[in-house]
Structure 1
Amino acid sequence: MIFTYVWAGWEGIAHDSRVLKEIASNPTFGFRFPPPGKYYLCDAAYTNTRGFLAPYRNTRYWLADFRRRRALTKEERFNHAHAQLRNVIERAYGVLKARFPILKQMAPYPFPVQRDVVIACFAVHNFIRKYNIQDELFMGFEEITMATPNVQGGGSESIEWGSEGVEYMTTLRNQIANQLFSSASS
C-alpha cells in the first residue's frame, strides 16, 4: 500500500491515460517503468500495452459481481483475479483520503501550494507505511492475508503504445487467463 510514483501538477481536467502518456514520454519526469517481465495493473481505461496490464473489456470485473455468480470463462476468471489485486490499490487510496480530507476538497491555495500539499500527503502516507508505524487507518483498510509487493523501478524505456506493445500484453494476458482457468478447472 505504498505509492511508487506521484505526479501532481496537471492543471485542469485530463483523463488519467493522457496524463500517463505525457509523463511516460518525457524522461525528465522520472517515471519508473516496471522491469522486463513485470507490469503495473491498470483499469480498462488504459491501453493494455507492454508494462501495463488491463482487464478484459466488456467482461464482468467488479468483485461484487462475482459474489452472486462465480467466474465462468477464462476472461471472467482473469478479471476477478485482476480486481482482487487492484483492490489493494483502492484500499491504499482509501487510507490516503481518510487521513487527508484536504485531498477530497482542496482549499483555494495558489496552484503551486495545492501541488505541494498533494505531494506532502503522499510522502507522509508512504513514511507511515514504510516504517511500520502502528496506524489505525492502515489496520482498518488492510487484510492480513495481503502482501505488499516491493515494486522496483525499471529503466527509462518508453511505453510501446503501438500495435507491437498491445499484442505483447494481450498475449500475456491471455496466457495468464488460460493458466488461471485451467488451475480452477483442475
Structure 2
Amino acid sequence: MFYYLCDVAYTHTRGFMAPYRNVRYWLGEFHRRRALTNKEKFNHSHAKLRNVVERAFGLLKARFPILKRMAPFPLATQRNIVIACFALHNYIIKEGLSDEYFSQYNQVDISLQSNNVQDDDDDEEDDVDEVQPHGSARDREYMVHLRDQIVDQLMRLE
C-alpha cells in the first residue's frame, strides 16, 4: 500500500496518511519534551518523515529552479523534467561531488526551520482549514486500521 503523508488539514482516507488529530504533532513541540503516548510517538515519526520529504523537495527546487514554477509544457514533458532533476541529483550524491545545496540542506538546524515547526504553544490545528472529506467510510476505516498497525509496529521497536 502506497500513501501520501499529509498534514492535519487532510482527511485520513485511502492513499492519505494523516497524523492523529488533537495530539502533539509539530516537531517544535517534541523539542521540549519527548513523546509519551503511542499516538504522540506516531505523530512524531510522521512529522519527522514529512520534514525529510519537504527538505528533499526544497533541495531539488533550490538546485533546479525550473521545479519552482513549471513552464506550461505538456504533462509528459513536465514529468520527464522532474525525473531528470531527480536523476541528476542522485548522480551528484552517488558520485560524491561537492554540492553546496546538499551541504546546506543536510544541516540539522535546517530541519527545525521547516514551515511545519511551531516554536510556540499555540494549537495549530485550530487554525487549519480542513479539506472536505473524500473517499468512502470504508476507505477511511482502512487507513485508520493501517495507521493503528503502524503504531503497534513502532511500539515493538522500542
Could you tell me which residue of structure 1 aligns to residue 61 of structure 2?
A: 97
Which of the two has greater helix per residue? 2
Aligned equivalent of 1:180: 154
Shift of 1:100: 4.2
TM score, norm. by length of structure 2:
0.63
Distance apart, 1:101 and its partner CA: 5.0
CA change 1:94–1:102 in 2 (3 A) is same
CA distance in structure 1 between the partners assigned to 2:8 and 2:89 by the alignment = 28
- The count of corresponding residues between Structure 1 and Structure 2 is 128
Where in structure 2 are there 5+ consecutive unaligned residues? 108-133
Structure 1 match to 2:24: 60
TM-superposed deviation, 1:119: 5.9
**Distance change in 2, residues 1:139/1:122 (3 Å):** farther
The alignment status of 1:38 with 2:38, answered yes or no, reads no
Q: Structure 2 counterpart of 1:79, which letter? A: N
Task: State how 1:1-186 maps to structure 2 within 5 Å.
Answer: 37-101=1-65, 112=72, 122-131=82-91, 132=94, 134=97, 135-142=99-106, 161-181=135-155, 183-184=157-158
RMSD: 3.2
Equivalent pair of 2:60/2:89 in contact (CA under 8 Å): no
SS of the aligned residue for 1:59 comes to coil
Please say if residues 96 and 121 of structure 1, whose CA atoms lie closer than 8 Å, have aligned partners that are also in contact.
Answer: no
* 1:98-142 superposed Cα distances (whole Å, 9 cap, x missing partner): 2245666x6xxxx726x9997676344312223235233134324
In structure 2, the CA distance between the partners of 1:116 and 1:69, relative to structure 1 (3 Å rule), is same
Deviation of the 1:175 alpha carbon: 2.2
Query: Normalized against structure 1, the TM-score is what?
Result: 0.55
